Chain A
Amino acid sequence: MDILIAAILTIITAATPLLFAALGELVTEKSGVLNLGIEGMMIMGAIIGFFTVHQTDSAFIAIIASMIAGALTATIFAILVLKFHASQVPTGLALTIFGIGLSALIGQSMIGVAYEGIPKIAIPGLSSIPVIGDIFFNQDGLVYFSIFMVVATMWFLNKTRAGLILRAVGDSHDAAHAMGYSVIKIRFLATLFGGAMAGVGGAYLSLAYSPLWVEGMTAGRGWIALALVVFASWRVGRVLLGAYLFGGITILQLHAQALGIAVPSQIMSMLPYLATILVLVIISRDKSKIKLNSPASLGKAFHPSR
């Protein structure tokens, strides 16, 4: 029983960074922007969060700083793509390369520095319920925040006028422009939101999941988050499901070793990447379904010339 609880707890911690990043990318993509730079924004969030917590000793300030860092990184992307009409795919790649490089540079002094991890917040009363108390009500603040963001994003996209406008821009930027909506501004904001979420996702890695700084510590999670959005067919609820599923696969390696299963660790480490490919294959097979669900303007350049 204890092993099971422990497993579920580690699944939650492994899933949370993916959940943040995928949620942000979902909103960005819903507005029609394909930002492949999640990995770069995440790792910037990771280093800035870790750096800030050492400067200020405040996890709260560090998390805010990581969101700002992610959003600022996303700003570079937004300016290039939305103002300078740069193509989205190479710009996203550049963002990843740049983010990994810059974070390594900033993180020079942070290598080998220890941090005890952000504190758990036990919800009085509920957390003492056996089994589910530990799982649901004795988590760190970011886990609660991630669940809150799932609900908030769902509400925003489906119930608010702003959410309707955002979806409309992603469906047809020309029609939205003709109606007088500012496509560029809406996409800019959606891209910044995606950056902030990726930033906090990265911070979760360096502040909670394994509280220390390692170069390139995001290890492809940004790309997995990107795949999660496809897996989720651009639906918020399914992003939650997908993130926890992948969280589960990620921690398999830890528990396989604990259970004494004799599979080389490298093969266990391959699992999340292989699972991502598998999931993509299964989801993408039905071309028409992908086409119906994905925002129709996704990745297309917008030229409001006439």
Chain B
Amino acid sequence: MLPRLIPRLEKRQTPSKAMIYLSPLLAIFLTLISSVVLFLIMNVSPLEALHAFFIKPISTIYGLTELAVKATPLVLIGVALSLGFRAGVWNIGAEGQLILGGIFGGATALFFYEKTGFYIIPLILIAGVVGGMLWAGIVAFLRTKFNANEILTSLMLSYVASLLLNLLIHGPLKDPDGFNFPESRLFSDSALLPILYDGTRLHIGAIIALLAVGLGWILLSRTLLGYQIKVTGDAPAAGEYAGFSHSKIIWITLLLSGGVAGLAGAIEVSGPIGQLLPTISPGYGFTAIIVAYVGRLHPVGVLFAGLLLALTYLGGETAQISLKLPIAVTGVFQGLLLFFLLASDVLIHYRIQFGKQGAIA
């Protein structure tokens, strides 16, 4: 019998540990290759474009701090979403929860306009958490009480959140001296996050994000709650059998991811933005889904993935300025990366086999 030359997939007996780590690298590699093709089609020198995208933005100290600024919300939300995804709770409305956090945090900042006090910033951050939890809590309530699919409800609420922000910015939160522009007043200094490195926008949010990575790691790998989350995601019936309440896990993961997304929203408005605008996020909430996946739903992986995806935002902006490339390239990059990752993941459970079937042990 002639060996078959068409590669086939054969299931591995046990999943490959190496591939769990190699697959994201393979995905990044494949994304780079296809981006070269994309640049050639767009009639741009691939070398120049790749340089503009991935090297130039981080070749200065300032660039590196900007990377951290962009990575902060991605890592924060990515860690929190990972917990939910592990439990099989598909909160894909982090964008809406971020916006609510921004609204709550921003409203708090404006409430304390021209006041000073050490308590203002903690209050802003707490308000952000409450806003995000509120928005995610609706999703949890509808899911546990009415069995409504959380993918759809959380996403629909994202659209509602964005319209709500728009409404408020045209109404009660509008800058009274702003000539009717749809934006709030600039927050006063005591409502702005402390800067870590003078002359840059690097703020303490970055430290909060690192803290989230550490806490998320411990939570997921060593605590009973983390264990319950993993069991519920892998086999909900086994969780019920052991006595872990499915509803409780849905509530906890949604409140947690909503709260953290809200925190990220509050950090954004009181950090790099410094006021409320009709748009306070270039889709961080959605990109964080990719971050969570590329980071293997593991907090430490999320940290690296968050930096990588932040680079695509930064690179997109640099390439737009220096090469006149449309900013939409960033979205294509991000989509491609997730595609290639999902495709590469097949190698965790399968091996590519040339020739005929059956290895005899």
Contacts and interface: CB of A to CB of B under 8 A. Distances in A.
Interface stretch (A8-16, A54-62, A113-121, A265-273): A265-273
B90 to A, nearest CB: 6
A129 interface: no
A284 B149 contact: yes
A94 B335 contact: yes
Nearest to B343: A84
Given A87-B342, A273-B156, A277-B153, A101 B146 contact: no
Given A97-B286, A273-B156, A281 B146 contact: yes
A214 to B, nearest CB: 13
A176 B170 CA distance: 57
A36 B11 contact: no
Contacts, number: 137
Given A266-B166, A270-B163, A280-B148, A85 B350 contact: yes
Interface stretch (B238-246, B252-260, B262-270, B325-333): B325-333
A102 interface: yes
B330 A101 contact: yes
A210 interface: no
A201 B155 CA distance: 20
Contacts of B290: 94, 97
A303 B345 CA distance: 15
A205 interface: no
Contacts of A284: 146-149
Interface residues of B, number: 47
A302 B93 CA distance: 28
Contact of B334 (A76, A97, A285): A97
A220 B146 contact: no
B160 A230 contact: no
A249 to B, nearest CB: 13
B98 to A, nearest CB: 16
A36 B326 CA distance: 26
Interface in A260-306: 264, 266-267, 269-270, 273-274, 276-277, 280-281, 284-285, 287, 290, 303, 305
Interface of A: 36, 76, 79-80, 84-87, 89-91, 93-95, 97-102, 104-105, 108, 215, 219-220, 223, 226-227, 230, 264, 266-267, 269-270, 273-274, 276-277, 280-281, 284-285, 287, 290, 303, 305
Given A97-B338, A102-B332, 13 more contacts: A84-B346, A93-B338, A94-B290, A101-B334, A102-B328, A104-B331, A267-B167, A269-B163, A270-B159, A273-B160, A276-B152, A276-B156, A284-B149
Interface of B: 9, 11, 90, 92, 142, 146-149, 151-153, 155-157, 159-160, 163-164, 166-167, 170-171, 286-287, 289-290, 293, 326-336, 338-339, 342-343, 345-346, 349-350
28 contacts: A80-B342, A80-B343, A84-B345, A86-B346, A89-B90, A90-B293, A90-B342, A93-B289, A94-B342, A97-B331, A98-B339, A100-B331, A101-B332, A102-B331, A102-B335, A220-B155, A220-B156, A264-B167, A266-B167, A269-B163, A270-B160, A273-B157, A277-B142, A281-B142, A281-B148, A284-B146, A284-B148, A285-B146
Q: Which 4 residue pairs are nearest across A and B when measured between Cβ atoms?
A: A101-B331, A98-B335, A104-B328, A94-B338
